[in-house]
């Protein structure tokens, strides 16, 4: 019975871990898009100042 409890807890932890990995990937994509947007805005500002 104790082994089943451990297996269930491990399964829950793996599910949570996989969810966090997916969230990390999504946040990294959003960060890349935001960085690109910032670079685009900086470029536009520099061009408008010339």
pLDDT of residue 11: 98
pLDDT of residue 10: 97
Query: What CA–CA distance (Å, rounded) separates 18 from 28?
Result: 15
Q: What is the pLDDT of residues 32-46, one digit of tens each?
A: 999 999 999 999 999
Query: What CA–CA distance (Å, rounded) separates 50 from 43?
Result: 11
Task: Using the CB atoms, write b or e for 4-37: b if 16+ within 10 Å.
Answer: eeeeeeeeeeeeeeeeeeeeeeeeeeeeeeeeee
Per-residue pLDDT band at 1 (split at 50, 70, 90):
confident
Q: What is the pLDDT of residues 14-35, one digit of tens each?
A: 999 999 999 999 999 999 999 9
């Amino acid at each position: 019975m104790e082994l089943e409890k451990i297996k269930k807890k491990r399964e829950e932890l793996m599910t949570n871990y996989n969810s966090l990995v997916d969230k990390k990937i999504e946040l990294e994509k959003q960060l890349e898009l935001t960085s690109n947007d910032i670079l685009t805005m900086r470029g536009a500002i520099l061009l408008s100042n010339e």
